[in-house]
Structure 1
Amino acid sequence: MQTVHTLAELRTALRDLPDRALVPTMGNLHAGHLALVARARELRVPVVASIFVNRLQFAPHEDFDRYPRTLQRDAQLLAEAGCDLLFAPLEAAMYPQPQTFRVRPDPALADILDGASRPGHFEGVATVVMKLFQMVQPAHAVFGKKDYQQLLVIRRMVEQFALPIAIIGLDTVRDTDGLALSSRNGYLTPEQRARAPQLQAALRQLAEQLRAITTPAGLHAHEAQAMQALAAQGWAPDYLTIRRRSDLSAPSTGDVQSHAPLVVLGAARLGGTRLIDNLEA
């Protein structure tokens, strides 16, 4: 596997990698990231991974400075997984001048749920992903479904800008106890890690209750109960909610009664660590 750090090096390396697939990451890789690489390899095209901790998607009070940076280990894992090229730019290479041009996603999709809890987050995500797409010019890009809202924002961006890129979403990779793999899991203390699967359990219980719910009012009542139950276990929930898969809007009576494709999403803090998860229902 070749590793490059500048745009000039990247463009030179890409000359020999036609019809490539891109796996964008922020590093500190785990089995979930490597599953994305494995999915990209199934396309039988060269695989490019990127590692870049994107300042634009972090609020000033968030964990940009302490986000784990483990490039040497990550590069070894990617090479073992069959990645062909690693693009690991420094911030000066990614943003050689202030990024005053930004991609502003549709507020109806990007300013709800995680966007409400993290204002400006999806603008930062969309901007860096658009920039990576322009730099790498992939035919395919693979993202995990754990960041469900992010995946929808990127799909919508690709559609509206008519980018010739097939976006592939991969199911969430979980630990043996059901916890969704995340680089931020490393922030948890051993006691918190033992309790962390409670978020997924709360979402699963809410998804199971869908079968008995017939109205949006019923959905809201069960969402509120799920929030209260998780808070009683020592969490600080941002949201536990049931939404339409297509646009993350609240389901209508018709959606509920016709068993339209829905997704149960949750975000909550355990101590100082914010975890997110979802289950399609």
Structure 2
Amino acid sequence: MIVFKWKSDLMQHLNERREGGSKIGFVPTMGALHAGHISLLQRSMGDGCYSVTSIFVNPTQFNNAEDLEKYPRTSGADIALLEAAGCDVLYMPEVVDIYDGKEEMSEIPRGGLDTLLEGASRPGHFAGVAGVVRILLEAVRPDKLYMGQKDYQQTLVVQQMLEHTQSKVQLVRCPIVREDNGLAMSSRNVRLSPEMREHACCIYQTMVKAAAQSARRELPVIEQESKEHLNSQPGYEVDYFGFYDAMTLEPLRHLPSGNGMVLLTAVWVNGVRLLDNILVQDND
């Protein structure tokens, strides 16, 4: 695995690979890697791509300085994981290499998706995401971009950005990888105590139950009962839990007939924000 710190060196290397006929697959991450990240890399390699992973904790997508400070940083373990998985290139830039000394926000229209759900709870978050993904794509120039379904809203924002810029990059959304108890794998899980990490499986269990009921019960009733159940757990506070249009994220009161339906939730567990989702109806 070749490690690059500077964008210019990375671009030169990847240009040489393209000239040799390689297709480039790209997995952007913020580090603290786990099996979910590695599954994205494995998908890229399985697609026959020369596979690039980036590790960059992007300050512009954090609207809370304490959250940025607490974000886990495990570069040594991350490098070992990527090497063992067969990653071809790791890009580990500093802030100055990404933003050239100026942390900028993307002005690319995000169609209102950035103001809902995560966007409402974390103002400016998706502007930061869109901005850094645009910069990384300009450096890597991949054929395929691999992102996880766990950050479902993020994948919609990035897809909209790609369409707006008429990019030829193909976004590949990969399934959520879960721990043995069903908890969606996340870099933030390490901040949970072992007991809370085990108990947090009730988030997924509640979602599975809600999704199974969606065809025969009123959606708002299911949502309310699910929120009450989760809020009754010690240390839990639900930010949102609901059924949404899978493309527009419009809240749904009835089963959709067009874009499909996704069940999305964000839950604070002892001060750690956990996201999860289930595609109840997928019309892709």
Normalised TM-score (structure 2): 0.92
| Whole-Å separation in 1 of the counterparts to 2:165 and 2:128 | 17
The separation in 1 between residues aligned to 2:17 and 2:70, in whole angstroms, is 34
Q: What fraction of aligned residue pairs are identical, expressed as a percent?
A: 36
8 Å contact from structure 1 (residues 105, 153) kept in 2: no
Mapping of 1:89-238 within 5 angstroms?
Answer: 89-100=93-104, 102-106=106-110, 108-213=112-217, 218-234=218-234, 235-238=236-239
SS at match of 1:63: helix
Give the match for residue 15 of structure 1.
Answer: 15
Q: State the 1:16 CA deviation.
A: 2.6
CA 1:101–1:245: 2 relative to 1, 3 Å: closer
Unaligned 5+ segments in structure 1 are: none
Q: Does 1:278 align with 2:277?
A: yes
Partner amino acid, structure 2, of 1:212:
R
**Could you say if the C-alpha distance between residues 44 and 260 of structure 1 is closer, same or farther in structure 2, counting changes exceeding 3 Å?**
closer
After superposition, the CA RMSD in angstroms is: 1.6
User: Residues 12 and 261 from structure 1, CA distance in 2 versus in 1: closer, same or farther, beyond 3 angstroms?
Assistant: same
Which amino acid letter does the alignment assign opposite residue 188 of structure 1? L
C-alpha displacement of 1:100: 3.6
How many pairs does the alignment contain? 275
Against the structure 1 CA distance between its residues 259 and 152, is the aligned structure 2 distance closer, same or farther, given a 3 Å change threshold? closer
Look up the SS of the partner of 1:48 in the other structure. Answer: strand
1:174-193 CA-partner distances (Å, limit 9, x unpaired): 01110110000000012211
In 2, are the aligned partners of 1:105 and 1:123 still within 8 Å (CA)? no
Query: What is the one-letter code of the residue matched to 2:24?
Result: R
CA distance 1:62–1:199, change in 2 (3 Å): farther
SS at match of 1:211: coil
Which residue of structure 2 aligns with residue 247 of structure 1? 248
Give the gaps of 5 or more residues in structure 2.
none
Determine the C-alpha separation between the residues in 2 that align with 1:164 and 1:145: 21
Q: Counterpart amino acid of 1:267?
A: A
Q: Is the 8 A contact 2:60 2:105 kept in 1?
A: no
> What amino acid sits opposite 2:3 in the alignment?
T
Structure 1: distance between partners of 2:64 and 2:11: 33
1:217-243 superposed Cα distances (whole Å, 9 cap, x missing partner): x32222122111110113100000001
Amino acid at match of 1:99: E
Stretch of structure 1 that moved more, 122-131 or 61-70? 61-70
- Distance (whole Å) between structure 2 residues aligned to residue 3 and residue 74 of structure 1: 12
CA distance in 2, matches of 1:201, 1:225: 13
User: Partner of 2:260 in structure 1?
Assistant: 261
Q: Which amino acid aligns with 1:98?
A: K
CA offset at residue 252 of structure 1? Answer: 5.9
Alpha carbons of 1:28 and 1:157: their partners in 2 closer, same or farther (altered >3 Å)?
A: same
3-state DSSP class of the match of 2:160? Answer: helix
3-state SS of 2:33 partner: coil
In structure 1, distance between residues paired with 2:52 and 2:73: 19
Aligned structure 1 segments of 4 or more residues deviating by more than 6 angstroms = none
Go from structure 1 to structure 2 and tell me whether the alpha carbon gap of 1:12 and 1:104 turns closer, same or farther (over 3 Å shift).
Answer: closer
CA contact (8 A) 1:264 1:278 kept: yes
